[in-house]
Structure 1
């Protein structure tokens, strides 16, 4: 799946403390509800004694997410999942899950304090995580002679394209995934090399 919006580049964890309660925030890239479930199960395995593991996620383009969810996990309604989701939405990031593990420190924070603590924990980890943006890719099929394979490989390396498969028979058949903005350059290359190609635009 290709994305032209920022997503977390990987997993990251940050810990904050508020009035002796520990808040361990984790961020992870997700592209489905199943992946969210896997990360949550891992968090519960890692922290079996935590009082709460609250979370929120959004999948899809920021501002028009295809899917979003949140959970207060026993905290008063609206004091954990919603503040986490609000921070995610303000960060202009898609395909992201934030989990906040809380170990209760014995001092009640009150509803306002909880909202600030969970939002602060989410902010700390989302501000620290690196972002990555994947450009939309389009597929192309190329039929060529054996001598044309090396020039095609070189073109792919220079233009951030991926040679997904190569089949050898009477001729060479290749499947290429190229960045959308390189489509015109690809057509020009194929025409110059006199290659037979089919480009899905």
Structure 2
């Protein structure tokens, strides 16, 4: 089956560069949603209220997704946010947000110099970022008789399915989180195992 896992940040990282008296400070962290990205950007702005510019970019989705964005915060168009986003997209990391804060040192760097400064600072921070593999999951629940509990637990364990809740009454109900790459066939395998005597629902 296709491997749909991807890399995501663990925690955050920072980096700092000084170029012709301008100080550039990069911060990178996880942003699973656009709201997460906005919150991260705002938190970095709060840390650097005196910065001349707080330029940002984010990929708030899996790599290659469309929930992306960037901003130049007054810098020359095309020299900060857009190249930062391109760097994030080429990194292969998903659910990530980045801000590079610039403290102007009095010497203009020119468009090419700005682009290199913002991307070099961000690249350094990405190099310090701890990452992990993330496997998207699909949630659901399963209701079945007590006689099938052990065999279902074994199937879930072998398939990488996590049991998220257990309720016991006349029957057993498992809440679960299944990796997307096995979710398509899971319902069929459960039906075969229980001979159709179970209730399987995606939530």
In which range does the TM-score fall when normalised by the shorter chain? 0.7 to 0.9
Q: What's the CA shift string for 1:135-156, capped at 9, x where partnerless? A: 2334453334457656655654
| TM-score scaled by length of structure 1 | 0.80
Deviation at 1:84, TM superposition (A): 0.8
Contact 1:140 1:197 in 2 (8 A): no
Contact 1:141 1:198 in 2 (8 A): yes
Aligned counterparts, 1:19-38, within 5 A: 19-38=20-39
Deviation at 1:187, TM superposition (A): 6.3
Give, in whole Å, the separation in 2 of the partners of 1:185 and 1:167: 20
Aligned counterparts, 1:91-110, within 5 A: 91-110=91-110
Give, in whole Å, the separation in 2 of the partners of 1:181 and 1:102: 42
- Match of residue 50 from structure 1: 51
- Match of residue 82 from structure 2: 82
Give, in whole Å, the separation in 2 of the partners of 1:107 and 1:143: 68
- Match of residue 66 from structure 2: 66
Q: What's the CA shift string for 1:70-124, capped at 9, x where partnerless? A: 1111212221112211211221222221100112223322221111000101111
| TM-score scaled by length of structure 2 | 0.79
Matched, 1:7 2:8: yes
Matched, 1:129 2:129: yes
RMSD, matched Cα: 2.8
In structure 1, list runs of 5 or more residues that go unmatched: none
Give, in whole Å, the separation in 1 of the partners of 2:181 and 2:71: 39
- Match of residue 118 from structure 1: 118
Give, in whole Å, the separation in 1 of the partners of 2:96 and 2:109: 27
Aligned-partner SS, 1:121: helix
In structure 2, list runs of 5 or more residues that go unmatched: none
Deviation at 1:31, TM superposition (A): 2.9
Q: What's the CA shift string for 1:51-81, capped at 9, x where partnerless? A: 1111111233433x21322111121222111
Aligned-partner SS, 1:114: helix
- Match of residue 161 from structure 1: 161
Greater mean deviation of Cα atoms: 151-160 or 73-82: 151-160
Greater mean deviation of Cα atoms: 167-176 or 111-120: 167-176
